[in-house]
Amino acid sequence: MPLLEIRNLGKRFGGLAAVSELDLDVGRGEIFGLIGPNGAGKTTVLNMVGGTLLPTRGKIIFRDEDITKFPPYRRARRGIARVFQRDVLFRSLTVLENVLAGFHLSSRTGFTEIFFKRPSTRSQERVLHEKAMEILQFVRLAQQADEMAINLPHGNQRALCLAIALATQAQLFLLDEPLTGMSGEEIEAMMSMIRTLRDERGITSVVVEHNIRAVIGLCDRVAVLDYGRKIAEGSPKEVVGNPTVIEAYLGVEENAI
């Protein structure tokens, strides 16, 4: 049974159909890529799965539950974490405090209790601190735990966004352009982390990404959107070799892949 099922999903903005009749199944522990040209509807799909947009039609089923009308916070508590294209951080907090903030969605300890250190929550605070440091170690930011988030370079801010998602204990990550603006070394590091999350923690990821070479190297399966409709789906090699994809997404020059 798929972890995420999308059935006949559609979204209209006035007279414009941004997404039409979309069907997708994403398996547990899968890295699933969603690609297509600018304006193809990729981010709109992520917004609907994450709950920041409600679909005009269709259903979204997560862990066998219809979540189509759930607000974002209910989806987060069900196990869905969104990593946006723009770095969404508490910029006035430290790196460590950002990760601690992520715990409040899945912990009995509330957001304010974590930071105001009430006596009744001191024990829980120590546990969360240890877990937060483990996460920072994983994303290679343990040495920057006390740095202000706003002072981190872009690549490290992207890694911190991933760390916050990990703190929510989500089972499904929605990654919108996770490699944008990164150096080659940072891209390799991020791809390695996403693979490790799949291999060691069973975390499922849906990745929207323009870096086709990275998608080929990272994703287990890929779907291609064009004008809001799915035009191809399969393994990365099958998809990039599809003549319809080459023409609609990459252009007629096959060597652009």
145 CA to centre of own chain: 23
The DSSP call for residue 53 is S
Q: Is the pLDDT of residue 138 over 70?
A: yes
Kindly report, residue by residue over 43-59, the tens digit of the pLDDT.
999 999 999 999 999 99
Average pLDDT over residues 220-247: 91
Against a cut of 0.85, is the pTM above it?
Answer: yes
Domains within the chain, CATH numbers bracketed: 1-76+203-257 (3.40.50.300), 80-169 (3.40.50.300)
* pLDDT (0 to 100) of residue 255: 41
Given a contact cutoff of 8 angstroms between Cβ atoms, the answer to whether 201 and 23 are in contact is no
* pLDDT (0 to 100) of residue 249: 62
Q: What Cα–Cα distance (Å) separates residue 228 from each residue in 34, 94, 216? A: 12, 39, 22
Average pLDDT over residues 23-30: 97
